[in-house]
Amino acid sequence: MRPWNSIPIAEVDEPLQEIPIALLRLEPHPYAALGAPYGPNRSPFRLRQGVLSRLLTAQQTLQKEQPGWCLVIFDAWRPVAVQRFMVHYSLVTECGRIGIDPYHPSIERDRVEAAVASLWAPPSDDPAAPPPHSTGAAVDLTLADAFGQALAMGGEIDAIGEISEPSFHQAAALADASSPAAMWHKRRQLLARVMASAGFEQHPNEWWHFSWGDQLWAWRSGAREACYGRVGDSDTSQLG
């Protein structure tokens, strides 16, 4: 469970909508390409309408500061089945990277599991504690230049470890303003700033993850309740 899961949800019953063409997408979708179980006719590039309108506002703010730059959507709506798939995939991949058996209990495996859990919300089936992406209120995104090329941000989306924390490069940036770390930190700050200007709240452990209207957003913004709960797992009428 997460600290925000105690916040009540007052569902506004707003359907998922396809992300408009004004916002770039990272395609092919990274999790669908791995075989994540979205199911037929269930696009991951969907969000609640209130979230979409604020994303467009954030992009307008970005382009005032950096003409031609744009937001690039990495991931949006994610059903619980996909959350469960990706938690397992991340655990197995990270264990493989450091050379340990993901299916054999050990101290090292426990450490990997804790590191994965710092990024990936539990794939809870409890409607009172939905993973943020299952609500259609959370989005993973980055910045692209005027040619539509994703910019280096000093760490890949979904990277396990401290490198994913929003301020990871701050100390290095302060030590050397001409370093690559300073550029990465500046870009992370820019992304956070333009998203905040549209009302989004950032995940404390992920430079790329922003929410509006879910429990995480309510927890970080001080709202008394969330307005979006889990959507789309079994009700196809919610898919827009």
- Contact residues for 69 (Cβ-Cβ < 8 A; gap 6+): 62, 63, 143, 144, 145, 146
Q: Among residues 14, 94, 201, 206, which one is catalytic? A: 206
How far apart CA 2 and CA 54 sit, in angstroms, is 25
How far apart CA 41 and CA 121 sit, in angstroms, is 25
Q: Which of 137, 105, 107, 133 is nearest to 119 (CA)?
A: 133
Paired with 37 in beta bridges are none
The yes-or-no answer on residue 206 being catalytic is: yes
Q: Which of 202, 240, 205, 197 is nearest to 220 (CA)?
A: 202
Q: Active-site positions?
A: 206
